[in-house]
Amino acid sequence: MDIDFSLVLVILVSICGLLWLLDSLLIKKHRLQAVLNYESTHAKGKNEEQVTQTIAGLSQEPLLIEYAKSFFPVLLIVLMLRSFLVEPFQIPTGSMIPTLEVGDFILVNKYAYGIRLPVIGTKILDVDDPDRGEVMVFIPPHENKYYIKRVIGLPGDTIRYEDKRLYVNGEIIGEEFVDDILVDTNLGDLPGTLHLETINGVEHATQHISGIARQRSRTTWIIPNGHYFMMGDNRDNSSDSREWGTVPEKDIVGRAIAVWMHKDPGLNLPTFERNQRIK
């Protein structure tokens, strides 16, 4: 089960803020009143050190309130950074190999496609629209979890994918063979090919499994307004818009911009050898 960290942060910030507000409006008054009562009725005749210690105890904040005040600004800053600037993600599957590998930790620009409210995702400020060839994080129409794929089709485009070749608005996308490779699949390593594909001036690597093509009921799609067609760079081993349809604009999360760390599954130390800009 995926954890919605934005929701967790919103809840924690709200709890800490409410406790701080409750203390400022109500609880603090009782502490101050207790100090005044002590000074007027019990402090006389006692040594200064004892009086000071007693007043300090009466005016001391409850531990819960103290923690709430300490954590509130830190949590608020983290929430603002994750919601409106940059959020970290980890790549869980191999659908974007060879561009992104399983275990890559990436940074996602949250304001590239507009400023959105945390958790509910409502856009409050337009910035820019996704462009063909960019790598985008989003919530797919069939599952409430984050996916990452490459933007292939924009609103109004006609996309065709047939015989392992990609066509956008009737024009075949340029592809250059690089090398024969082994492709990691659920059936083990299978022979495949590595290519360099150029979409809208963005050159990136893709890979295919030789002699095997996933059977899909459609080969051509017309992209409706406000929707985007997404595909993984691991073309024969990716669940994407070819299966579950286009992604509505309201479900966009942000643009993937960089790999900042990598950790192989299991008991392995993280490395920074794959640090790179995502293109």
Active-site annotation, residues: 95, 149
Is residue 167 within 8 A of residue 159, CB to CB? The reply is yes
Residue 221, SS3 per DSSP: strand
- Is the bond preceding 62 in cis, omega lying within 30 degrees of 0? no
Which positions ≥6 away from 188 have C-beta within 8 Å?
Answer: none
Q: Give the largest CA-CA distance in the chain.
A: 96
* DSSP for residue 25: I
The token pair at 59 is: 């005016």
Is residue 254 within 8 A of residue 113, CB to CB? The reply is yes
The token pair at 203 is: 């050159």
The token pair at 193 is: 């090919």
Cα dihedral 247→248→254→255 (10° resolution): 50
Neighbouring-strand partners of residue 105: 90, 261
Cα dihedral 90→115→126→249 (10° resolution): 50
Is residue 138 within 8 A of residue 251, CB to CB? The reply is yes
Terminal-residue alpha carbon distance, the chain? 29
Q: Which helix (H) or strand (E) holds 248?
A: strand 247-248
The token pair at 139 is: 């919530």
Q: What are phi and psi of 138, to 5 degrees?
A: -160, 175
The token pair at 73 is: 């600004």
